[in-house]
A and B are shown apart, each in its own frame.
Chain A
Amino acid sequence: AQRVTQPEKLLSVFKGAPVELKCNYSYSGSPELFWYVQYSRQRLQLLLRHISRESIKGFTADLNKGETSFHLKKPFAQEEDSAMYYCALSFRYTGANSKLTFGKGITLSVRP
């Protein structure tokens, strides 16, 4: 079954420290992976997608098919990075229909 696992619920770091938010997935096909972010009092929004191979707000994520992982990384955390982060897997399950399934999310807290 398709599944996204975020093993930690909370990560607390000091400003300037490196950040790695872990995400593992289970899917037999070719995965499409995303990170969504929810800042306090804001809507859940797309942060980045693996297909774009982009860096957004200093965050990057590399798809590792061997380890079935898509960890989100940032070398130097900022206080404004404090938010809830969700890893998500998109997969096609019938015909042209596809589904986006989320992990349980992790709260990142960046202390001054």
Chain B
Amino acid sequence: DAGVIQSPRHEVTEMGQEVTLRCKPISGHNSLFWYRQTMMRGLELLIYFNNNVPIDDSGMPEDRFSAKMPNASFSTLKIQPSEPRDSAVYFCASSSDTVITGELFFGEGSRLTVL
């Protein structure tokens, strides 16, 4: 298995543009997470899906951010319109267990730069 696959790996865009980040979790995993990594805040949980259903989106910064999981093998994180403060590395992770004791498997991340 190639692990969690994210695309694009790098994205440079201008303020106001729409950004869509994509994630393919490990086959058979039923939980999917989107995290944002910045120097100032470290790793922040944005949203968490279980069996394709959003369970907790309390970490989503504002209405400009939205996430979907139309099926078990694909998820998107969209930012519209993007702003310079959204610049960060966005990680997708999946798990086959409840995270109480289980392990999260991370993708390589999508580095977003908003000019």
What does DSSP make chain A's interface, helix, strand, loop or mixed? strand
Chain A: residues with Cβ within 8 Å of the partner, total of 24
Question: Are the CB atoms of A44 and B106 closer together than 8 Å?
Answer: yes
- Does chain A have a CB within 8 A of B14? no
Counting CB contacts under 8 A, is B15 at the interface?
Answer: no
Binary interface encoding of chain B residues 12-54 relative to chain A, with 1 for a CB under 8 A from any of its CBs, else 0: 0000000000000000000001010000011111001010000
On chain B, the residues within 8 Å of A36 by CB distance are 104
Interface size class of B (residues with CB under 8 A): 20 to 34
Interface residues of A in 25-71 (CB under 8 A from B): 32, 36, 43-46, 49, 51
Which residues of the partner chain A approach B103 to less than 8 Å between Cβ atoms? 46, 49
- What are 6 A-to-B residue pairs whose CB atoms are below 8 Å? A45-B106, A97-B56, A99-B48, A99-B56, A104-B43, A105-B43
Q: Within the assembled complex, what's the spacing in Å between the Cα atoms of A45 and B47?
A: 19
Q: Which residue of the partner chain A has the closest CB to B91?
A: A44
A51 to B91, CA, bound (A): 25
Q: Which residue of B lies closest to A50 (CB)?
A: B101
Interface of A toward B, CB cutoff 8 Å? 6, 32, 36, 43-46, 49, 51, 86, 90-93, 96-105
